[in-house]
Amino acid sequence: MSGTPEDPGAPEVPGTPGTSEAPTAPGAPATPGRPRRARRTRPVHPVRRVRRLRPGAWVTVLVFGFFFVNLAGVVGVPLVDSFGTRWFTSWLPEGWTTKWYGSAWREFSLGQVFWTTALVSVLVVAVSLAIGVPAAYALARRDFPGKRIVMLLFLLPILVPPITYGIPLATVLYKFQLAGTLTGVVLANLVPSAPFVVLTMTPFIEQIDPRIEAAARMCGARTASVLLRIIAPLLLPGILAASVLVLVRTVGMFELTFLTAGPDSQTLIVALYYAVFSAGIRTQQSIDAMAVMYTLSMLVLLVIALRFVNPTQLVTRVKEDRTAG
């Protein structure tokens, strides 16, 4: 890595062939240019680190800034309100108290709500893993006629918004007297979760060398023991990632739970909606306290989730390098 100072006219182009005769940079070919340029130029031109912001950068900073300031406001208002005594038109409440948390806990019987939420989420995670991981394995390893249709079947529940298929689904669940029960809530939440596990797991499975399985089969292992003793241990990171993501999605899933839950099978987010929607008799602060409790539990889950997964994975499958996450 010879630190030839390039001409300052083209600082954006990393490793322009015109400036250096070296045919290939020592880095991996897939590495994007930016880190390489930073590493090379930093010792030579320490001044260039102070970059003037270009118009594009200004747009970025503005969009981000606007977004985050408003987001902070949106999250901050319930947070401040839940700790305040009385807050009408001033910037901040008149005094500070924590009594709303206790009253929210009693008023909305949050103990039971939290228990339901945990139960529903754990059941959904367990069942969707049991259904999704084998399906993901088959989809990742086999090419068969009609694969596109099966893929479509597994993609649609993720792409179609829950409220659209939730209404017919809830109708069917009512018909079989499953709606309003915990079973109904779990079944409804499984519809997007099981395909989501498939989507998350497929890249993880594709990474495993099929020759390992071939070797196990050569040694006489049957499909079941290949899955349990060869694939499952190798897939453990993927299974963790998928289960944390499904957990986050289930706790945050409003529409399906809302459509199928009965009075004693509400999860936290649905209980929160009913508290907000039928407000009036209740104090705003205890609703906010409940909202803050919801945000906190969500935040804890999120921080755990981001330890295992790449954020782009929350919406799509892994495309970035493993090292980037």
| Among the residue ranges 39-47, 113-121, 146-154, 232-240, the one whose residues contact another protein (CB under 8 A) | 146-154
Q: Of residues 23, 26, 43, 145, which one binds another protein by CB under 8 A?
A: 145
In the window 258-277, what residues touch another protein (CB under 8 A)?
258-259, 269, 272-273, 276-277
> Pattern 217-236, binding to another protein, x per CB under 8 A?
x-----x-------------
Outline where the chain has alpha helix (H).
33-44, 55-83, 99-107, 110-141, 147-159, 162-175, 182-207, 210-218, 223-226, 232-252, 255-260, 268-277, 284-308
Q: Which is nearer to another protein, 47 or 224 (CB)?
A: 224
Among residues 52 and 211, whose Cβ is nearest to another protein? Answer: 211
**Looking up tokens 């490793």, which residue turns up?**
15
For residues 82 and 103, the answer to whether their CB atoms sit within 8 Å is: no
Interface with another protein in residues 293-312 (CB under 8 A): 294-295, 298-299, 301-303, 306, 311-312
Least gap, CB of 1 to another protein (angstroms) = 18
Quickly tell me which residue has 């986050």 as its tokens: 248
Rule CB under 8 A: choose which of 39, 86, 99, 319 binds another protein: 319
Region 166-205 residues binding another protein, contact defined as CB under 8 A: 167-172, 174, 187-188, 190-191, 194-195, 198
Contacts of 271 (CB under 8 A, 6+ apart): 108, 110, 113, 290
- Name the residue nearer to another protein (CB basis): 16 or 112: 16
**What 3-state DSSP class applies to 319?**
coil
Burial 142-164 (b: 16+ CB within 10 A, else e): eeeeeeeeeeeebeebbeeebee
* Choice between 227 and 240, CB closer to another protein: 227
Question: Do residues 106 and 283 touch, judged by C-beta distance below 8 A?
Answer: no
The site that binds another protein (CB under 8 A) totals a number of residues, namely 112
Site residues for another protein, 98-117, by CB under 8 A, read none
244 binds another protein (CB under 8 A): no
Distance CA 287, CA 294 (A): 11
Should residue 316 be labelled a site residue for another protein when binding is judged by CB under 8 A?
yes
CA–CA separation, 209 vs 211, rounded Å? 5
Whether 295 and 75 have beta carbons less than 8 Å apart is answered as yes
CB of 119 to another protein, least distance (A): 19
Tell me if 15 contacts another protein by CB under 8 A: yes
How is residue 29 written in tokens? Answer: 């070919």
Where residue 177 falls (left for φ over 0; alpha for ψ -120 to 50; beta otherwise) is: left
Handedness of CA 197, 325, 323, 22 (dihedral sign): positive
> Binding to another protein (CB under 8 A): which residues in 20-79?
30, 32-35, 56-57, 59-60, 63-64, 67-68, 70-71, 73-78
Given 28, 143, 219, 281, the residue binding another protein (CB under 8 A): 143
Return the number of the residue (103 or 310) whose C-beta is nearest another protein.
Answer: 310
Specify the residue, 119 or 314, whose C-beta has the smaller distance to another protein.
314
238 touches another protein (CB under 8 A):
no
Quick one: which of 244, 144, 160, 143 has its CA closest to 201?
A: 244
**Nearest distance from residue 23's CB to another protein, in Å?**
14
- Binds another protein by CB under 8 A, chosen from 156, 212, 232, 236: 156
Q: Does 150 bind another protein (CB under 8 A)?
A: yes
